[in-house]
Amino acid sequence: MDKYTGAGLISLAMGGLSLILGVLFRTGLVHADLASLYRDPAAPVTQRNSVFGFIPLGLAFVALGLLPLIATSQWGLLLALITLAVSSLIFGFVVVLRPPWWMKPRWLREAEADGWRHYSRPPFPVTKAVVATAIVLVLGSAMAFILTHATPLELIGSLFIGLGAVMVLILGMRRR
């Protein structure tokens, strides 16, 4: 294990969490406050569209997390991962600024086309539990692996990065 393994594992965990949350929004299992943000004309565009960047940005974090974990002698794989990470980051930021129609979930496109007249939240009372379960599973498995394979300095740095990322997620999902 080299000194960058902990950062790679945290990046993999955050990428996995971002992918899971992106899929939950995309499938409509979690609506959170997205509908109320889209109905509010004063809401900033980047705040409204941030959930659409979960999947491409999660893919970028996964690719960046794999970089320190693979052998450096495989130049083709390294180049492919770097290309995937950079293109996913660029695409993720473009999607946050102005998402194409196919990046928006179907339930959101239908509610916008209908003028929000017939929109109702999904009958899933466990949406917060689903998000909390995804966070605990992904970050918990990364933490268990890091506890068994990391030095104390890597562990403290990874802990602060993970706590900061969880706080950003919590504050981002909090109702304003």
Residue 6 in contact with residue 157, Cβ under 8 Å?
Answer: yes
Extents of the domains making up the chain: 5-173
Q: Is the pTM of this model over 0.95?
A: no
pLDDT-based confidence at 3, cuts 50/70/90?
low
Label residue 90 by pLDDT band (50, 70, 90).
very high
The yes-or-no verdict on residue 40 having pLDDT over 70 is: yes
pLDDT at 176: 47
Extract the tokens encoding 27: 């499938």
The pLDDT value given to residue 87: 93
Burial profile 95-108: b = 16 or more Cβ within 10 angstroms, e = fewer:
bbeebeeebbbebb
pLDDT at 33: 66
pLDDT tens digits, one per residue of 56-67: 999 999 888 888
pLDDT at 151 over 60: yes
